[in-house]
Amino acid sequence: MTGHDAVDDPQPTRTSTLVVVLASVLTAAALVRAADVVWPALLGAMGAVTLAGVVWASGWKRHEAAGSVLASVLVLPVGIGIVAATAGTVLVLAGGLFPVPSAADVPGTVIALTARAAVVTGAVAAVFGATTATRGVLDADTLEDATTTAVRTAVVPFCLAILLAGSAALRFLESNDAGPGIQTVVGDVLREITSLFFQPDPLGPHLPTFAVMAGAALLAAHRGVHALPITELLPENETGDDYRERIEAGQRRLLWAGLVVLAAVPIAAIVHLAVPPRQLRAALGSGLYDVVLAVTASPALRSLAWWVIVCGVAVAGVVWLLRRLVQSSPDRIGSVLAPFAGGVGVVALAFAVSDDVLFEAVAWVAGQLPGQFSTQFREVVTPVINVYGFTTIGVAAAAALLFLATVAVSALWAVLATGYVEGRTAGVTIASLALFNTAAFAGVLDVSNLLVLGALVAAVLVWDAGEFGVTLGQEVGRLANTRRAELVHATGTLAVGVVGAGVALLVSRVGAVDAGTGPVALGLVAVLGGLLLLVVALR
């Protein structure tokens, strides 16, 4: 292979990548099996692979629209995997660990539950890191695109969930006979506001509200005229230049007139509050006062101002959108619009399956909770379902899942953007650290020292082999024939790790002393010392 090949294909080499994937997945599976929480971990691992798919699809630069479509479709399963690995693990464990025989056993049970949950989340993170390491897709730019896609996908479900929940809450409060009904109160407030602006009392002038509407209408007219390509359509001659100057001067007059009218709103408000109509009539004279009254209290003029505002804003918005569309390629347009379409699809799915899925989910959660918690859970959930309904809760749950996925992608982006993890080895680093933490929490449980030490060795193997594969791929290319060198390197790392782990395991079995309160195993000290020596040897 040549240097040109390495530049064209700077991805990790295949053999080292295979070592990283196999070591991460097999070690994570062994630790999860030992923690006896297989199903939540399996669902979480599927979510981790899906999250890697979101990142991978967001990095498609040549086919942005297709990548955006695929990423928006995968965002919801990411949220499901996160919930399964966290809340699902806790629920499954709580059903088996609680209730405890006595209060003295509560701390130990809580520690066991926390450790098992940490094992699951660490294993899921290891799977994600290994999956992304296969193609080296983790970098700050790709994660920024993935975050944007996730946010856009969540916009429609989130807004609709707020609308449905607010409407249901208003209906419930309105039906409550204990008070006047908040819906009635809100309706009265809205009617007062609309009457103040569109149907004012004709007995006196209304300078503040009229000034607000007039100023807003002038500014909206300016924006609408400015957005239209009027000057661009004029001919390139003296007549066209003359009209162009007049149009530009008219636009400036509209702008300054709107700013002046809005600046006069505070003065108009002070006059309206401090000067009674009689004194204002006496100061202005009957003729001028009648003109001011007719103009400021006219519903027709206010309606005209309102429609000018609506049309000006609409014209400016449409022209802006058309210009963006014309300046962008169809692929770019599709990449922007696809996540919103994905959000609409999530809403449609929530409407279709909310009843059955939520009913089964409530029954499952109630079945997992121990003792009186199950009854209390049903007592809390039933009124909520009666008020909001399955559909509203389903849309809200979908929005919450999309939010969790967005938070996960945003957190990854923040880690890489701030430089805490190097982009070229980000997947390998995540997998290695996750395996290390998982092994540490597994040591709290009734897991054999052999498995814990093996997991620590696997964590170092993943890190060392992955970094070697990334460096080698950048130097000679992914397709270079480097299998023998990679296997020798990985075998040497594994041999050093096995020797260190064997020494630590031997010391842990024979090294125990009596400290007066019971046997104190020296294995932990040996493991830590062996781990430090192992890291030094590998570097």
Q: Report which residue type is found at 193.
A: I
Classified as helix, coil or strand, 391 is helix
What pLDDT is recorded for position 522?
46
Distance CA 65, CA 423 (A): 25
The DSSP letter of residue 85 is: I
Residue 184: per-residue pLDDT: 60
Domain boundaries, the chain: 3-152+422-538, 186-327
In sequence order, which residues have a C-beta less than 8 Å from that of residue 449 and are 6 or more positions away?
A: 443, 505, 508, 509, 523, 527
Can you give the pLDDT at residue 513? 44
- Of 59, 76, 57, 48, nearest to 344 by C-alpha is 76
Six-digit token string for 216: 């807003």
Judge contact between 125 and 41, C-beta under 8 A.
no
Residue-level pLDDT at 60:
84
According to the model, what pLDDT value does residue 515 have?
Answer: 40
Asked if 313 and 220 touch (Cβ cutoff 8 Å), the reply is yes
Give the amino acid at 243.
Y
Q: Which residues contact 469 (CB under 8 A, 6 or more apart)?
A: 12, 13, 15, 16, 17, 19, 20, 486
- 183 contact partners, CB below 8 Å, separation of at least 6: 170, 171, 173, 174
514 three-state secondary structure:
strand
- Determine the Cα–Cα distance for residues 208 and 269; give it in Å rounded to an integer: 5
CA angle 414, 417, 422 (to 5 degrees): 110
Q: What is the pLDDT of residues 270-279, one digit of tens each?
A: 888 888 888 8
Q: Among positive and negative, which fits the CA dihedral 463, 465, 466, 471?
A: positive
pLDDT for the residue 78: 95
Q: Which two tokens stand for residue 374?
A: 């199950």
The whole-angstrom separation of Cα 216 and Cα 155 is: 29
Report pLDDT for 229: 77
Interhelix angle 372-417/64-83, rounded to 10 degrees, is 140
Tell me what pLDDT residue 27 has: 94
Beta bridge partners of 521: 512
Q: What share of the chain is helix, strand, coil (3-state, %, to 5)?
A: 85, 0, 15
Structure confidence at residue 383 (pLDDT): 87
Q: Enumerate residues 6+ apart whose C-beta is below 8 A from 82.
A: 44, 47, 401, 404, 405, 408
pLDDT of residue 126: 95
CA–CA separation, 445 and 125 (whole Å): 20
CA atoms within 13 A on the CB side of 460: 26
| pLDDT given at position 508 | 65
Query: Do 534 and 497 touch, CB atoms closer than 8 A?
Result: yes
d(CA 470, CA 352): 45
pLDDT averaged per 10 residues in sequence order, the chain, 539 residues: 45 88 94 87 94 90 84 94 90 72 63 87 94 86 92 94 86 62 60 76 82 92 86 67 80 91 90 83 83 86 91 89 71 81 93 91 85 83 88 94 95 87 86 90 83 89 90 79 86 84 72 42 50 52
C-alpha count within 13 angstroms, C-beta hemisphere, residue 319: 14
Contact 278, 228 (CB under 8 A): no
C-alpha to C-alpha distance for 332 and 328, rounded to whole angstroms: 6
Q: How far apart are CA 11 and CA 132, in angstroms?
A: 11
